[in-house]
Amino acid sequence: MNANILIIEDVPEMAELVSMYLQKDGMSVRIAGSAEEGLEMLAEQTPDLVILDLNLPGMSGFDFLKRFRKEQRATIPVIIASARDADEDIINALGIGADEFVTKPFSPRVLVAKVNANLRRTSEVSAAAEDFYAFGPYKLLLNSCVLKKGAEKIPLSTKEYKVLEYMTKHEGEPLSPERIYRDVWKSEFGDVTAVAVYIQRLRKKIEDDPANPKFIKTEFGMGYKFANSEQQPS
Domain 132-226 has what CATH class?
mainly alpha
Residue 2: band (very low, low, confident or very high) from pLDDT cuts 50, 70, 90: confident
pLDDT digits (tens, 9 = 90+) for 159-195: 899 999 999 999 999 999 999 999 999 888 888 999 9
**Which residues, at least 6 apart from 160, have a Cβ–Cβ distance to it below 8 Å?**
198, 201, 202, 205
The tens digit of pLDDT for each residue in 126-163 reads 554 567 889 999 999 886 778 999 888 888 888 899 99
Buried b (16+ CB within 10 A) or exposed e, 116-154: bebbeebeeebeeeeebbbbbebbbbeebbbbbeeeebb
For the segment 108-132, the average pLDDT, to the nearest whole number, is: 79
Domain range 4-128, CATH architecture: 3-Layer(aba) Sandwich (3.40)
Check whether 16 has a pLDDT greater than 60: yes
Most confident of 4-8, 68-72, 118-122, 149-153: 4-8
Task: Report how far residue 141's alpha carbon sits from residue 18's, in angstroms, rounded to the nearest whole number.
Answer: 29
Check residue 132 and give its pLDDT: 86
Q: What is the pLDDT of residues 22-67, one digit of tens each?
A: 999 999 999 999 999 999 999 888 899 999 999 999 999 999 999 9
Domain ranges of the chain: 4-128, 132-226
